[in-house]
C-alpha cells in the first residue's frame, strides 16, 4: 500500500509537471518557437499571484482566472511586438530572443520581489490530508490535479471544436498556406503564445501554492517542461500530460528509493525514453 500511495502521489505531482509542459507544447506546436523564457513566465505568474493575494481579500484559488487573463494579455503583446519579428524557418533567432528575455525577467523579478523564497498563503489547506482507500493524499495536490486535467480537457475542446482553435491547428500545420484563406498567421501566433503563457500562469499559481518560489526557480521548471514535451512528443498536448505523469511518478518513486536523489531518476527515465523513442511517445509509430 505504501508503494501504491507513492505512485498516486506521483500522479498528483505529475499533473503539475504536465501543466509546466503544456504551454511549451502549444507554443512549439503552433508557432514552432522554443521559448527559453518559459520557466521565468511560470515563476512570474506565481509572483503576480502572491502580489494579488495581498491586494484582493479572496481565496487564492479564485484568483487563478485573473492571473490567467493578465498573463494571456502579456503573452499576446509579447508575440505581436517582439517574437513575430524573428519567427521564421530558422528556430535560432526566437530561441536567442527568449533567452535574453529570460535573463531580463529573472533580474527584474529579483529587483521587484527580492530573492527571498516566497509562497502563496493557503492557510491549513496546504498541509490538509485525506484518507482515500487507505492512502493519505493531500487535499491541495488533489485540487491541483483536478484543475490541471480540467485545463487539458478545456484546451482540447477549444482547439478541436471552436473556429479559433481550428485556425490555430491549421496554422501550426502550415502557417503560410492558411493566408490563402484570409488568416493572419502572425495574429494566430499571438493567440497561441497567449494561450501557452496562460497555461503557464495556472502552473505558476499552483506552484506557489504548493511550495516556495524565487526568481531563480524558473530554470528547474524549464528543464521539467522541456522533458515533459520531449517525452510526450514535440507539440503533442496529450503527450505532455502523459510525459508529466511519468516524470511525477518517477520523481516520487526515486525519492522513496533514495531521498537524496532529487531529479536523478526522472532524468534517467527521460534519457531512456528519448533513446528508445526519439520522437516521443506520441510519435513512436513514425
> What is d(CA 230, CA 224) in angstroms, rounded to the nearest whole number?
10
Task: Output the average pLDDT for the chain.
Answer: 91
Give the residue extent of every domain in the chain. 2-283
Please choose, from the candidates 82, 44, 27, the residue with its C-alpha nearest in 3D space to the C-alpha of residue 225.
27
Cβ atoms of 229 and 238 closer than 8 Å: no
Cell 500511495 locates to: 5
- What is the greatest pairwise CA distance in the chain? 59
Domain 2-283 bears CATH identifier 1.10.357: no
Q: Tell me the three cell numbers of residue 284.
A: 513512436
Q: Is 58 helix (H, G, I), strand (E, B) or coil?
A: coil
Share of the chain above pLDDT 90, in %: 70
H or E segment to which residue 107 belongs: helix 92-113
Beta bridge partners of 131: 136
Cβ atoms of 19 and 180 closer than 8 Å: no
Q: Is 53 helix (H, G, I), strand (E, B) or coil?
A: helix
pLDDT digits (tens, 9 = 90+) for 201-251: 999 999 999 999 999 999 999 999 999 999 998 888 999 999 999 999 999
pTM: 0.93
Q: Tell me the three cell numbers of residue 196.
A: 501557452
As a whole number, mean pLDDT of residues 58-79 equals 96
Within 8 A by CB and 6+ apart from 220, the residues are 39, 263
**Top-confidence residue, 69 or 28:** 69
Cβ atoms of 225 and 133 closer than 8 Å: no
Cell 528543464 locates to: 223
Amino acid at each position: 500500500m505504501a508503494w501504491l500511495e507513492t505512485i498516486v502521489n506521483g500522479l498528483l505531482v505529475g499533473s503539475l509537471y504536465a501543466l509546466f509542459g503544456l504551454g511549451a507544447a502549444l507554443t512549439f506546436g503552433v508557432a514552432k518557437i522554443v521559448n527559453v523564457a518559459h520557466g521565468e513566465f511560470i515563476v512570474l505568474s506565481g509572483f503576480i499571484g502572491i502580489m494579488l493575494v495581498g491586494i484582493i481579500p479572496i481565496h487564492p484559488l479564485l484568483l487563478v482566472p485573473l492571473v490567467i487573463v493578465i498573463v494571456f494579455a502579456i503573452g499576446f503583446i509579447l508575440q505581436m511586438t517582439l517574437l513575430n519579428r524573428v519567427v521564421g524557418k530558422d528556430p535560432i533567432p526566437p530561441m536567442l530572443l527568449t533567452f535574453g528575455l529570460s535573463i531580463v525577467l529573472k533580474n527584474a523579478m529579483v529587483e521587484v520581489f527580492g530573492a527571498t523564497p516566497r509562497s502563496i498563503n493557503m492557510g491549513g489547506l496546504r498541509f490538509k490530508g485525506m484518507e482515500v482507500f487507505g492512502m493519505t493524499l493531500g487535499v491541495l495536490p488533489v485540487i491541483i490535479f483536478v484543475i490541471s486535467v480540467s485545463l487539458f480537457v478545456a484546451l482540447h475542446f477549444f482547439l478541436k471544436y471552436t473556429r479559433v482553435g481550428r485556425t490555430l491547428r491549421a496554422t501550426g500545420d502550415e502557417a503560410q498556406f492558411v493566408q490563402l484563406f484570409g488568416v493572419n498567421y502572425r495574429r494566430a501566433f499571438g493567440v497561441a503564445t497567449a494561450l501557452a503563457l496562460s497555461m503557464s500562469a495556472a502552473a505558476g499559481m499552483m506552484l506557489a501554492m504548493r511550495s516556495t518560489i524565487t526568481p531563480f526557480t524558473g530554470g528547474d521548471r524549464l528543464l521539467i517542461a522541456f522533458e515533459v514535451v520531449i517525452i510526450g512528443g514535440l507539440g503533442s498536448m496529450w503527450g505532455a500530460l502523459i510525459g508529466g505523469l511519468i516524470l511525477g511518478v518517477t520523481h516520487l518513486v526515486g525519492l522513496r528509493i533514495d531521498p537524496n536523489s532529487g531529479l536523478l531518476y526522472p532524468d534517467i527515465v527521460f534519457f531512456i525514453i528519448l533513446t528508445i523513442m526519439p520522437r516521443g511517445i506520441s510519435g513512436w509509430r513514425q
